[in-house]
Protein backbone atom coordinates (compact mmCIF):
# COMPACT_ATOMS: atom_id res chain seq x y z
CA UNK A 1 0.00 0.00 0.00
CA UNK A 2 1.71 3.16 -1.25
CA UNK A 3 -1.32 5.41 -1.45
CA UNK A 4 -2.28 8.69 0.09
CA UNK A 5 -5.56 8.15 1.88
CA UNK A 6 -8.29 10.73 2.35
CA UNK A 7 -11.42 9.95 4.33
CA UNK A 8 -15.05 11.00 4.36
CA UNK A 9 -15.68 13.51 7.18
CA UNK A 10 -18.05 12.51 9.97
CA UNK A 11 -20.06 15.54 11.09
CA UNK A 12 -21.21 15.94 14.70
CA UNK A 13 -24.03 18.23 15.78
CA UNK A 14 -23.15 20.24 18.90
CA UNK A 15 -25.08 22.83 20.90
CA UNK A 16 -22.11 25.21 20.52
CA UNK A 17 -21.56 24.56 16.78
CA UNK A 18 -22.41 26.53 13.66
CA UNK A 19 -21.85 26.51 9.89
CA UNK A 20 -18.29 27.80 9.59
CA UNK A 21 -17.00 24.55 8.10
CA UNK A 22 -19.26 25.36 5.16
CA UNK A 23 -18.21 28.97 4.71
CA UNK A 24 -14.52 28.69 5.63
CA UNK A 25 -13.64 25.28 4.18
CA UNK A 26 -16.27 24.83 1.48
CA UNK A 27 -17.72 21.71 3.09
CA UNK A 28 -21.23 20.46 2.28
CA UNK A 29 -22.86 20.13 5.70
CA UNK A 30 -26.10 18.42 6.74
CA UNK A 31 -28.92 20.91 6.28
CA UNK A 32 -30.23 22.81 9.26
CA UNK A 33 -27.84 21.44 11.87
CA UNK A 34 -25.37 23.24 14.14
CA UNK A 35 -22.21 21.31 13.24
CA UNK A 36 -19.57 21.63 15.93
CA UNK A 37 -17.15 18.91 14.87
CA UNK A 38 -15.92 17.17 11.75
CA UNK A 39 -14.07 13.95 12.52
CA UNK A 40 -11.73 13.65 9.53
CA UNK A 41 -9.53 10.75 10.69
CA UNK A 42 -10.93 8.38 13.31
CA UNK A 43 -10.73 4.70 14.19
CA UNK A 44 -13.17 3.97 16.99
CA UNK A 45 -15.93 1.43 17.48
CA UNK A 46 -18.56 4.16 17.43
CA UNK A 47 -17.00 6.20 14.61
CA UNK A 48 -15.01 4.86 11.68
CA UNK A 49 -13.27 6.72 8.86
CA UNK A 50 -14.14 5.51 5.36
CA UNK A 51 -11.73 6.03 2.47
CA UNK A 52 -12.91 8.53 -0.13
CA UNK A 53 -11.70 7.79 -3.65
CA UNK A 54 -8.99 5.61 -5.14
CA UNK A 55 -8.37 1.88 -5.08
CA UNK A 56 -9.53 1.58 -1.46
CA UNK A 57 -12.67 3.69 -1.84
CA UNK A 58 -15.37 2.70 0.66
CA UNK A 59 -13.07 0.71 2.93
CA UNK A 60 -12.75 1.54 6.61
CA UNK A 61 -9.54 2.61 8.29
CA UNK A 62 -9.93 -0.35 10.64
CA UNK A 63 -10.08 -2.84 7.77
CA UNK A 64 -7.01 -1.32 6.11
CA UNK A 65 -5.07 -1.59 9.35
CA UNK A 66 -6.08 -5.26 9.62
CA UNK A 67 -5.11 -6.20 6.07
CA UNK A 68 -2.27 -3.78 5.28
CA UNK A 69 -0.94 -2.82 8.70
CA UNK A 70 2.76 -3.22 7.92
CA UNK A 71 2.58 -1.22 4.67
CA UNK A 72 0.38 1.45 6.20
CA UNK A 73 1.99 1.84 9.63
CA UNK A 74 5.36 0.06 9.46
CA UNK A 75 6.77 -3.38 10.33
CA UNK A 76 6.41 -2.94 14.11
CA UNK A 77 2.65 -2.29 13.90
CA UNK A 78 0.58 -4.51 16.21
CA UNK A 79 -2.41 -6.03 14.42
CA UNK A 80 -5.65 -5.15 16.18
CA UNK A 81 -4.38 -1.87 17.61
CA UNK A 82 -6.55 1.16 16.73
CA UNK A 83 -5.12 4.09 14.80
CA UNK A 84 -3.47 6.24 17.52
CA UNK A 85 -4.57 9.72 16.38
CA UNK A 86 -7.94 11.42 15.87
CA UNK A 87 -8.08 14.51 13.63
CA UNK A 88 -11.06 16.83 13.84
CA UNK A 89 -12.18 20.33 12.97
CA UNK A 90 -14.02 22.36 15.62
CA UNK A 91 -16.43 25.18 14.78
CA UNK A 92 -16.90 26.93 18.10
CA UNK A 93 -19.68 29.41 17.39
CA UNK A 94 -20.31 29.50 21.14
CA UNK A 95 -18.14 28.69 24.13
CA UNK A 96 -17.54 25.03 24.96
CA UNK A 97 -17.91 23.63 28.46
CA UNK A 98 -15.06 23.84 30.94
CA UNK A 99 -13.65 20.33 30.86
CA UNK A 100 -10.70 18.04 31.46
CA UNK A 101 -9.45 14.74 30.08
CA UNK A 102 -8.14 12.21 32.59
CA UNK A 103 -4.38 11.62 32.78
CA UNK A 104 -3.17 8.08 32.31
CA UNK A 105 -2.60 7.63 36.05
CA UNK A 106 -6.32 7.87 36.83
CA UNK A 107 -8.04 7.23 33.48
CA UNK A 108 -8.34 3.47 33.95
CA UNK A 109 -9.74 3.81 37.45
CA UNK A 110 -12.35 6.29 36.19
CA UNK A 111 -13.27 4.12 33.20
CA UNK A 112 -11.94 6.62 30.66
CA UNK A 113 -9.07 7.22 28.26
CA UNK A 114 -6.32 9.85 28.49
CA UNK A 115 -6.36 12.51 25.80
CA UNK A 116 -3.67 15.01 24.94
CA UNK A 117 -4.66 17.32 22.08
CA UNK A 118 -3.18 20.13 20.04
CA UNK A 119 -5.29 23.09 18.95
CA UNK A 120 -4.23 25.01 15.84
CA UNK A 121 -6.25 28.20 15.43
CA UNK A 122 -7.26 28.45 11.77
CA UNK A 123 -9.62 31.44 12.06
CA UNK A 124 -10.97 33.65 14.84
CA UNK A 125 -13.39 36.46 15.34
CA UNK A 126 -12.00 39.64 16.96
CA UNK A 127 -11.33 39.15 20.65
CA UNK A 128 -11.59 35.33 20.59
CA UNK A 129 -10.01 33.60 23.56
CA UNK A 130 -9.04 30.21 24.96
CA UNK A 131 -9.09 28.93 28.51
CA UNK A 132 -6.25 26.56 29.46
CA UNK A 133 -5.01 25.85 32.96
CA UNK A 134 -5.56 27.57 36.28
CA UNK A 135 -4.77 31.08 37.40
CA UNK A 136 -1.56 31.07 39.36
CA UNK A 137 -2.06 29.92 42.96
CA UNK A 138 -5.60 28.55 42.63
CA UNK A 139 -6.09 25.48 44.82
CA UNK A 140 -8.50 22.56 44.58
CA UNK A 141 -10.39 23.87 47.57
CA UNK A 142 -10.81 27.32 45.99
CA UNK A 143 -11.93 25.73 42.74
CA UNK A 144 -14.56 23.56 44.46
CA UNK A 145 -15.95 26.59 46.27
CA UNK A 146 -16.07 28.48 42.96
CA UNK A 147 -18.13 25.70 41.36
CA UNK A 148 -20.71 25.99 44.13
CA UNK A 149 -20.73 29.79 43.87
CA UNK A 150 -20.77 29.88 40.03
CA UNK A 151 -17.54 31.89 39.99
CA UNK A 152 -15.30 29.39 38.20
CA UNK A 153 -14.28 31.97 35.60
CA UNK A 154 -12.24 33.69 38.31
CA UNK A 155 -10.11 30.54 38.70
CA UNK A 156 -9.09 29.72 35.13
CA UNK A 157 -6.43 31.13 32.82
CA UNK A 158 -7.82 32.98 29.80
CA UNK A 159 -5.87 34.49 26.88
CA UNK A 160 -6.50 36.03 23.46
CA UNK A 161 -5.66 34.09 20.31
CA UNK A 162 -5.26 34.83 16.62
CA UNK A 163 -5.08 32.74 13.45
CA UNK A 164 -1.89 30.67 13.41
CA UNK A 165 -1.56 30.35 17.19
CA UNK A 166 -1.49 26.87 18.72
CA UNK A 167 -1.31 25.17 22.09
CA UNK A 168 -0.73 21.60 23.24
CA UNK A 169 -3.33 20.71 25.89
CA UNK A 170 -2.23 17.79 28.02
CA UNK A 171 -4.44 15.32 29.83
CA UNK A 172 -5.19 16.86 33.21
CA UNK A 173 -5.27 20.47 32.02
CA UNK A 174 -8.62 22.13 32.62
CA UNK A 175 -9.68 23.93 29.45
CA UNK A 176 -12.40 25.46 27.29
CA UNK A 177 -12.59 26.96 23.83
CA UNK A 178 -14.30 30.32 23.74
CA UNK A 179 -16.72 31.49 21.06
CA UNK A 180 -15.44 32.54 17.65
CA UNK A 181 -12.70 29.95 17.06
CA UNK A 182 -12.26 27.60 14.10
CA UNK A 183 -9.71 25.01 15.19
CA UNK A 184 -7.92 21.99 13.79
CA UNK A 185 -7.57 19.58 16.69
CA UNK A 186 -5.06 16.73 16.52
CA UNK A 187 -5.39 14.42 19.50
CA UNK A 188 -4.86 11.01 20.97
CA UNK A 189 -7.51 8.50 19.93
CA UNK A 190 -9.85 9.08 22.87
CA UNK A 191 -13.34 10.40 23.42
CA UNK A 192 -13.30 10.81 27.21
CA UNK A 193 -14.30 14.30 28.33
CA UNK A 194 -15.32 15.28 31.86
CA UNK A 195 -17.37 18.48 32.07
CA UNK A 196 -16.75 20.34 35.28
CA UNK A 197 -18.77 23.49 34.45
CA UNK A 198 -21.12 24.43 31.59
CA UNK A 199 -21.86 28.13 32.13
CA UNK A 200 -25.54 27.41 32.91
CA UNK A 201 -26.21 26.12 29.39
CA UNK A 202 -28.75 23.55 28.23
CA UNK A 203 -28.20 20.91 25.57
CA UNK A 204 -29.89 20.30 22.22
CA UNK A 205 -32.76 18.63 24.12
CA UNK A 206 -33.35 21.76 26.22
CA UNK A 207 -32.08 20.11 29.42
CA UNK A 208 -28.91 20.88 31.38
CA UNK A 209 -26.02 18.79 30.10
CA UNK A 210 -24.47 16.14 32.32
CA UNK A 211 -21.57 17.26 34.48
CA UNK A 212 -18.75 15.07 35.80
CA UNK A 213 -17.57 17.13 38.75
CA UNK A 214 -15.99 14.40 40.87
CA UNK A 215 -14.22 12.80 37.91
CA UNK A 216 -12.96 16.24 36.89
CA UNK A 217 -11.62 17.06 40.34
CA UNK A 218 -9.72 13.75 40.32
CA UNK A 219 -8.29 14.50 36.87
CA UNK A 220 -7.27 18.17 37.06
CA UNK A 221 -3.57 18.93 37.44
CA UNK A 222 -3.58 21.32 40.38
CA UNK A 223 -0.02 22.47 39.63
CA UNK A 224 -0.81 23.61 36.06
CA UNK A 225 -0.75 27.40 36.12
CA UNK A 226 -1.11 29.79 33.16
CA UNK A 227 0.40 27.86 30.22
CA UNK A 228 1.30 29.99 27.21
CA UNK A 229 0.28 29.38 23.60
CA UNK A 230 2.73 29.19 20.73
CA UNK A 231 2.17 32.34 18.72
CA UNK A 232 1.85 32.38 14.93
CA UNK A 233 5.10 32.57 12.98
CA UNK A 234 5.81 32.77 9.22
CA UNK A 235 8.41 29.98 9.45
CA UNK A 236 8.53 26.20 9.55
CA UNK A 237 9.14 24.47 12.87
CA UNK A 238 7.89 22.08 15.54
CA UNK A 239 4.72 23.29 17.26
CA UNK A 240 4.01 20.26 19.47
CA UNK A 241 6.24 17.47 20.72
CA UNK A 242 5.31 14.82 23.25
CA UNK A 243 5.11 11.07 23.77
CA UNK A 244 1.77 10.92 21.93
CA UNK A 245 2.80 12.66 18.67
CA UNK A 246 4.90 15.40 17.12
CA UNK A 247 3.53 18.17 14.89
CA UNK A 248 5.59 20.27 12.49
CA UNK A 249 4.36 23.42 10.79
CA UNK A 250 5.64 23.53 7.21
CA UNK A 251 5.43 26.89 5.42
CA UNK A 252 5.86 26.71 1.64
CA UNK A 253 6.11 29.59 -0.78
CA UNK A 254 4.61 29.21 -4.24
CA UNK A 255 6.63 26.58 -6.11
CA UNK A 256 8.34 25.20 -3.00
CA UNK A 257 8.17 21.52 -2.07
CA UNK A 258 8.39 19.14 0.87
CA UNK A 259 8.98 15.41 0.65
CA UNK A 260 7.71 12.35 2.50
CA UNK A 261 10.16 9.45 2.20
CA UNK A 262 9.15 5.78 2.00
CA UNK A 263 10.12 3.44 4.82
CA UNK A 264 10.34 6.10 7.56
CA UNK A 265 6.94 6.25 9.28
CA UNK A 266 3.31 7.06 8.50
CA UNK A 267 2.41 10.73 8.58
CA UNK A 268 -0.73 12.86 8.53
CA UNK A 269 -0.60 15.93 6.29
CA UNK A 270 -3.12 18.69 7.02
CA UNK A 271 -3.50 21.73 4.77
CA UNK A 272 -4.28 24.94 6.67
CA UNK A 273 -3.99 27.48 3.88
CA UNK A 274 -3.02 27.83 0.24
CA UNK A 275 -3.15 25.04 -2.33
CA UNK A 276 -0.92 21.97 -2.52
CA UNK A 277 -0.45 19.30 -5.17
CA UNK A 278 0.55 15.82 -3.94
CA UNK A 279 2.61 13.72 -6.34
CA UNK A 280 3.64 10.11 -5.65
CA UNK A 281 7.29 9.20 -6.10
CA UNK A 282 8.57 5.91 -7.47
CA UNK A 283 7.27 3.46 -10.04
CA UNK A 284 3.80 2.00 -9.93
CA UNK A 285 2.39 4.46 -7.41
CA UNK A 286 -0.80 6.33 -8.21
CA UNK A 287 -2.57 9.22 -6.55
CA UNK A 288 -5.89 7.70 -5.48
CA UNK A 289 -8.07 10.80 -5.47
CA UNK A 290 -6.47 13.38 -7.70
CA UNK A 291 -3.58 15.37 -6.40
CA UNK A 292 -4.99 18.72 -5.37
CA UNK A 293 -5.26 19.44 -1.65
CA UNK A 294 -7.17 22.46 -0.37
CA UNK A 295 -7.46 24.09 3.07
CA UNK A 296 -9.18 21.72 5.48
CA UNK A 297 -7.91 18.54 3.82
CA UNK A 298 -6.02 15.91 5.81
CA UNK A 299 -4.43 12.87 4.16
CA UNK A 300 -2.62 9.86 5.56
CA UNK A 301 0.71 9.09 3.90
CA UNK A 302 1.51 5.41 4.38
CA UNK A 303 4.80 4.05 5.70
CA UNK A 304 5.44 2.42 2.31
CA UNK A 305 4.64 5.49 0.24
CA UNK A 306 6.80 8.38 -0.95
CA UNK A 307 5.30 11.72 -1.94
CA UNK A 308 6.15 15.25 -2.96
CA UNK A 309 3.89 18.07 -1.79
CA UNK A 310 4.25 21.13 -4.03
CA UNK A 311 2.73 24.49 -3.14
CA UNK A 312 0.84 26.19 -5.97
CA UNK A 313 0.38 29.22 -3.72
CA UNK A 314 1.75 30.29 -0.34
CA UNK A 315 0.68 27.36 1.87
CA UNK A 316 0.83 26.18 5.48
CA UNK A 317 0.80 22.46 6.28
CA UNK A 318 0.84 20.56 9.54
CA UNK A 319 2.74 17.27 9.49
CA UNK A 320 1.80 14.91 12.34
CA UNK A 321 4.31 12.13 13.02
CA UNK A 322 5.92 9.99 15.75
CA UNK A 323 2.58 8.43 16.71
CA UNK A 324 3.60 4.81 16.07
DSSP 3-state of 321: strand
Q: What is the distance between the alpha carbons of residues 267 and 287, in angstroms, rounded to a whole number?
A: 16
Exposure string for 287-317, b = 16+ CB within 10 A, e = fewer = bbbebebebbbbbbbbbbbbbebbbeeebbb
Torsion from C-alpha of 213, 217, 222, 224, nearest 10 degrees: -50
Per-residue CA distances from 267 to 22, 88, 173 (Å): 26, 16, 27
Judge whether 195 counts as a catalytic residue.
Answer: yes
Residue among 2, 6, 195, 248 flagged as catalytic: 195
38 contacts 9 by C-beta, under 8 angstroms: yes
Of 177, 128, 131, residue with least CA distance to 152 = 131
**DSSP assignment letter at 230:** B
Q: Would you name the residues annotated as active-site residues?
A: 195
Amino acid sequence: MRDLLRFQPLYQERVWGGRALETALGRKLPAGEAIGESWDVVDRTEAQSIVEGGAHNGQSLRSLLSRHGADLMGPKWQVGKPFPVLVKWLDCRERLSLQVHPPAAVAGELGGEPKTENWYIAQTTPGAELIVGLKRGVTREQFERAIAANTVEQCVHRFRVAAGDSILVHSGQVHAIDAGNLILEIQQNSDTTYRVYDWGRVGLDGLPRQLHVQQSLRSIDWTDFEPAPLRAAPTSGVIADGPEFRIRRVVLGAGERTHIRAGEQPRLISVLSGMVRATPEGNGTRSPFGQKLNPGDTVLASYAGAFTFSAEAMSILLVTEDFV
